[in-house]
Homo-oligomer: A and B are copies of this chain.
Amino acid sequence: MKIYLAGPDVFLPNAVELGRRKVELCARYRLVGLYPLDNAVDPAAPDASLAIFKGNEAMMDAADAVIANLTPFRGPGADSGTVYELGFMAGRGKPCFGYSNDPLLYADRVREFTGVTRREGRLTDSGGLTVEDFSLADNLMMIHALERYGGALVTPKARPADIWQDLATFEACVRLAAEHLGVA
């Protein structure tokens, strides 16, 4: 079984090496990890971004399932490219799994990110926009999609020292996926 490894890992300085470690961990659970192609394309090439898009989409179509790294990225929520891919795989009807290296609830993370107040029963941010307050780790569409299409979001008890390099929670998610997919 092939599993697409969505995540902002591709933006790390050691993206290629981290991808190799993720693929190796998948192999231990008899899963073939497919790691996005962002770093296999020369960013200076014409149409580089389109080549990455097409490559990643072909990889998703070849995959039987997805594991999404939903660790908060550049703000209180998950990386949008990863979230798009999670939605795409859910739309394709393929099993979806996800993990985050941040154990906080979304509303608490927004509290750290911007001012939050409670007005007339609604939790709102500094711009007056409602903050989802359902005791979930991130936006409800993603969290419930995981529960419905694969397995609940996997999180650590405490934030690891390095949220980008620590793969313990990723491995727990691979194990969950392997059990669900019947290869463990």
Our pick among B48, B49, B114, B141 for the contact of A84 (Cβ within 8 Å) is B141
A92 partner residues in chain B, CB cutoff 8 A: 91-92
Closest to A78 in B: B80
**Mask of A71-104 contacts with B, CB within 8 angstroms, 1/0:** 0011111111101111111111100000000000
Give how many copies assemble into the complex: 2
Count A interface residues, CB 8 Å.
57
Interface segment, one of A24-32, A123-131, A170-178:
A123-131
A88 to B77, CA, bound (A): 18
A155 interface residue, CB < 8 Å from B? no
A53-B145, A90-B87 are known contacts. Are A125 and B74 too (CB-CB below 8 A)? yes
Closest to A10 in B: B130
Minimum C-beta distance from A82 to chain B (A)? 9
Check A81–B142 contact: CB distance below 8 A. yes
A86 partner residues in chain B, CB cutoff 8 A: 84, 87
Check A145–B84 contact: CB distance below 8 A. yes
Minimum C-beta distance from A74 to chain B (A)? 6
A56 interface residue, CB < 8 Å from B? yes
A50-B140, A73-B129, A84-B141 known, 19 other contacts, Cβ within 8 Å: A8-B129, A12-B129, A13-B130, A15-B130, A43-B134, A50-B144, A52-B140, A53-B140, A53-B141, A53-B144, A53-B145, A53-B148, A80-B141, A81-B141, A87-B91, A88-B88, A89-B91, A91-B91, A129-B164
